Amino acid sequence: MSTPSLTLAPAPPSEAAEQVRAEVRRFLAEELAAGSFTTHVDTWLSGVDPAFSRKLGERGWLGMTWPSRYGGHERTAMERYAVTEELLAAGAPVAAHWIADRQSGPNLLRYGTEAQKATILPRIAAGECYIVIGMSEPDSGSDLASIRTRAARNGDGDWVVNGAKIWTSNAHASHYAITLVRTSPADPSNRHAGLSQLLIDLSTPGITVNPIRILDGGHHFNEVVFTDVVVPADMLLGTEGDGWHQVTAELAFERSGPERFLSTYPLLAEFARRVADSGDPAGVAVLGRLSARLLALRQLSLRIAAALDRGELPNLAAALVKDVGTTFEADVIDEIRRVVEVPASLDSPDPLGRALAEAQLHAPGYTLRGGTNEILRGIVARGLGLR
C-alpha cells in the first residue's frame, strides 16, 4: 500500500490576485465606513443582503472565473480566492449569492444546457439570482443515496416532483433549487443509480418553504416540500440518472475554499484587538497558535485553488481542508474562551462578547454542513487506500 503524497505544489504568487485583493479591501473599508454592513461571524450562512450581493456583481466579483458570454469575467481561481477571502475576513453579508456563485454556477457551466446557462449564469454573476442546494432530506443526511424525493414524467414529458428537502439554506430568499431527485426506483444492487438533478424554480405552484430556526433564533434553514410540482422537461440538469456523479463533483468544489476555515475569523480579529489592548502574554500566545493553524490552512487552500487553475481535481486535499478547517473554526472559540473573561451574549455591549456568542451558537453547523467530518474522513481513508 502506498500513501499518496500530501505535499501540494506551491501556489505561485499572483499579481492579479493581489490587485483585486486591494480593490476589495478598499471597497469593504468604504462600505463599513458608510455603515452599509456590520461585521458578523459566519456571514456566508447568515448574512443575506441582496443589495450587497448586487454591488459585488457590479464590480465583477461574482462569476469571476466563468466565460464572459455567460456574464463571467474569465479570471483565475486565485483571483476569485482573494475576493472570497477578503469578504469572509471582513464578515461581510455574502450569504444571498454564496452558494450560486461557488457551486451552482460551476455546476451549471459543466452540465447545463445552453438555454439554462444563457438565462441563469449572467443573473448569478450580476448578484441577482440565488440558488440553493436541495440534497438533504429528513431521512437522508450523510447517506445521500437513500433520498426519496421522486420525479416522474407526465404525459407531456415534464417532471412531476413529490417529496421533501430539509436544511435547505436560504430557500426562502432564493430563486432556484438544484434538487437531487430519484428518477428511477431504488436499485439495491446499485444505490447510486437512478438519481438526477432538476433545476426547480422555487416560485412553482406546489412548493412550500417552511422556516426552521437555528440556535440563535436565526432563520437560514428551511424545509422545502414538493407536492405534485411540475418541472418542465428542459429543466433537467445534466443527464438523467447521472445525479450521483454530478453531486459528487459539485461537492468537491464546495469543500476547499476559505469559507471552511474563516467562518469564525471575525471573532479572532476581535480577540486580537483585545489582546493588543491588554498585552496579556497568554492571549498573545493563543493568537499566535491560532494564527499558525490558520496560516497552514490558508496555504493548503491556496494550493488547492492553484491546482484547480491547472485543471487538477485534488479531492483528497479538499476533503482534508474541510475536516481540519472546520475543526479549527470551532477551536477558535474554545481557545479564546480560555484566556478571556467575557460572557458570551448576543446583546453584549462588548463586541468580543457578541462575536463569541454568534460563533458559539453557530458552532454545531461548521462540522456538519457540506458533509460531516466523519464522512470526510471516510473519503480521506479511501484516498489513503484503506477502503
Ligand X SMILES: Cc1cc2nc3c(=O)[nH]c(=O)nc-3n(C[C@H](O)[C@H](O)[C@H](O)COP(=O)(O)OP(=O)(O)OC[C@H]3O[C@@H](n4cnc5c(N)ncnc54)[C@H](O)[C@@H]3O)c2cc1C
85 binds, among ligand X, other proteins, none (CB under 5 to 8 A by kind): other proteins
Active-site annotation holds for 254:
yes
Site string for other proteins, 276-315 (x = CB under 8 A): xx---x-xxxxxxx-xxxxxxxxxx--x------------
The CA distance from 173 to 377, in Å, is 33
Site string for other proteins, 347-386 (x = CB under 8 A): ---------------------------x-xxx-xx-xxxx
293 binds, among other proteins, ligand X, none (CB under 5 to 8 A by kind): other proteins
Q: Which of 273, 334, 343, 345 binds other proteins (CB under 8 A)?
A: 273
The CA distance from 144 to 133, in Å, is 13
DSSP-derived secondary structure for 188-249: TT-TTTTEEEEEEETTSTTEEEEEEE-TTS-EEEEEEEEEEEEE-GGGEES-TTBHHHHHHH
CB of 89: closest distance to other proteins in angstroms?
Answer: 5
Q: What are phi and psi of 185, to 5 degrees?
A: -60, 150
Of 211-270, which residues contact ligand X (CB under 6 A)? none
Site string for ligand X, 316-355 (x = CB under 6 A): ----------------------------------------
What burial letters (b/e) apply to 319-338, b meaning 16+ CB within 10 Å?
bbbbbbbbebbbebbebbee
| Catalytic residue from among 254, 329, 335, 358 | 254
Check residue 315 for interaction with ligand X (CB under 6 A).
no
CA distances from 238 to 99, 155, 177, 242 (A): 19, 21, 15, 7
Check residue 369 for interaction with ligand X (CB under 6 A).
yes
**Strand 176-182 to strand 131-134: parallel, antiparallel, or no bridges (unpaired)?**
parallel
At residue 34's C-alpha, the angle toward residues 72 and 264, to 5°, is 70
CB of 301: closest distance to ligand X in angstroms?
Answer: 20
First CA to last CA distance, the chain: 12
The CA distance from 54 to 207, in Å, is 26
CB of 61: closest distance to ligand X in angstroms?
Answer: 22
Which residue of the chain is nearest ligand X when measured via CB? 141
CB of 297: closest distance to ligand X in angstroms?
Answer: 19
Residues 99, 131 contacting (CB under 8 angstroms): yes
Site string for ligand X, 159-188 (x = CB under 6 A): --------xxx-------------------
387 binds, among other proteins, ligand X, none (CB under 5 to 8 A by kind): other proteins
Of 91-150, which residues contact ligand X (CB under 6 A)? 132-136, 141-142
How many residues touch other proteins under the rule CB under 8 A: the total is 53
At residue 370's C-alpha, the angle toward residues 298 and 346, to 5°, is 80
110 binds, among ligand X, other proteins, none (CB under 5 to 8 A by kind): none
Which three cell numbers mark 328? Answer: 479549527
Of 19-78, which residues contact other proteins (CB under 8 A)? 21, 25
89 binds, among other proteins, ligand X, none (CB under 5 to 8 A by kind): other proteins
- Phi/psi-derived region of residue 2, left when phi > 0, alpha when psi is between -120 and 50, beta in every other case: beta
Catalytic residue list? 254
